[in-house]
Amino acid sequence: MIHTQSFTKFSSLIAGTMTWGVWGSHFNTNEMMSLIQHCVDMGITSFDHADIYGDYTTEAAFGEAWHKCNRSRDSIQLISKCGIQLEGGKRKNVIKHYNYSKNYIVESVEQSLKYLHTDYLDLLLLHRPSPLMQPYEIAAAINQLKQQGKILDFGLSNFTSVQTEYIQKAIKVNYHQIEFSITHFEAMLDGSLEHMQLHQIKPMCWAPLGKVMKANDEQSKRILEAIHPMTEKYEVGIATLLLAWIMKHPACITPVFGSTSATRINELKKSTAIEMETSDWFTLWSAAMGKPVP
């Protein structure tokens, strides 16, 4: 029997902030304020960060904008990740590497809290697995941060199922953020999503639109041909249907989108109200695979 458990409440879509700053849109404080307020007004109250975004600058830029929005902290949810050490730029690392020592995890969270103008993170994720990670040292850091009220929940990002179990021998993992889309659906075939369901781990996915509208390859052409009639049937755009395809999966995957356009965000939000028919779901998956369902 699979037992249910309570999870931190996040919005049905999560706004990814990776390209809000110098890695993309170069938004100033007022532009970030406007985008934060628009997302919240649309019911998208969860924001996904990582300490490395913008070469360690985007959290601070977002935090300054959030601070000036003059909204209550409990009206939004903040997610961040730590562990990756980028070389050059903001930090003087001689090579890109990972660090999951207790002290580093704690210091990273405290830095994120300072930058984001908040007392706590709703969720902390370990950004990518490291061959040198030690589960009990990680657990010591997470337990300390939870006891201090600096993080409310804990999870992983981009780990395999075996690596997840390795961490879970020391501490419960409640969330896992992976790459998943109609053009990157390996997690649906290698047992990753079933593993999450069996162990009550809530999946989130980055790059949920895949490469459909970016790559001029045969897979994307097949998907576009298959999805075009559905835009009239469901009266929404292609991107919206790609999110609806993800959300039909029984693992209840929460997409983390990267769009910074208010108009595009309005369209994407419609995906939460779509119940895609099963036949349409398999039509798209067959197009993605380039062959009928086995």
Catalytic site residue from 53, 100, 115, 234: 53
CA distance 59 to 43: 21
Query: Who contacts 207 (Cβ-Cβ below 8 Å, separation ≥6)?
Result: 179, 180, 181, 184, 258
The answer to whether 53 is a known catalytic residue is yes
- Token pair, residue 11, equals 């919005």
The residue whose two tokens read 């998956």 is 285
H/E element, 284 = helix 278-289
Q: How far apart are CA 158 and CA 176, in angstroms?
A: 7
Of the CA atoms within 13 Å of residue 235, those in its CB half-sphere come to 1
Q: Is 220 helix (H, G, I), strand (E, B) or coil?
A: helix
Query: Residue 7 in contact with residue 202, Cβ under 8 Å?
Result: yes
Range list of H helices, 192-261: 192-198, 218-234, 238-247
For the chain, the straight-line distance linking the first and the last C-alpha, in angstroms and rounded, comes to 29
Q: Is 123 left (phi over 0), alpha (psi -120 to 50) or beta?
A: beta
Bridge partners of residue 181, in order along the sequence: 184
Instruction: State phi, psi for 245 to the nearest 5 degrees.
Output: -60, -45
Identify the bridge partners of residue 47 per DSSP, sorted by sequence position.
15, 78
The catalytic residues are: 53
